[in-house]
Amino acid sequence: MAHPYHHALSSVKKWGGTVDDFIAVHAWFDQSKEITADFRHRALRHHALS
């Protein structure tokens, strides 16, 4: 699975800014990997609070 850094790089390419602008939020999304080691783990936080 990708490290939050790589997700942050993707956000930089899409939205601009720097990795530091996005790393905290991607680290927060990826904390759910502790619950399940499934690529769908990010959907838990991406959609649970909307």
pLDDT tens over the chain, length 50 residues: 578 899 899 999 999 999 999 999 888 877 767 666 666 666 666 655 54
What confidence score (pLDDT) does residue 48 get? 52
How many domains, in total, are found in the chain?
A: 1
Cα end-to-end distance, the chain, whole Å = 24
Q: What is the pLDDT of residue 26?
A: 86
Distance, CA of 4 to CA of 28 (rounded, Å):
9
User: pTM surpassing 0.75?
Assistant: no
Domain that holds residue 33: 4-48
